[in-house]
Amino acid sequence: MREIDELLPDLAKRLSRAEIIARLRYEAEAAVSSANRMRRRGVDESASEARRGLAPRIDRILNFLIQDSLLSVPDEADRALCEKVRDRLQARGQWE
How is 17-61 classified by DSSP, letter by letter?
Answer: HHHHHHHHHHHHHHHHHHHHHHHHHT--HHHHHHHHHHHHHHHHH
Residue 1 confidence (pLDDT)? 43
Give pLDDT tens digits for 14-28: 999 999 999 999 988
pLDDT band of 75, cuts 50, 70, 90: very high
Residue 37 confidence (pLDDT)? 82
Give the Cα-Cα-Cα angle 23, 27, 28 (nearest 5 degrees). Answer: 120
Residue 2 confidence (pLDDT)? 53
Q: Tell me the pLDDT of the chain averaged across its residues.
A: 88
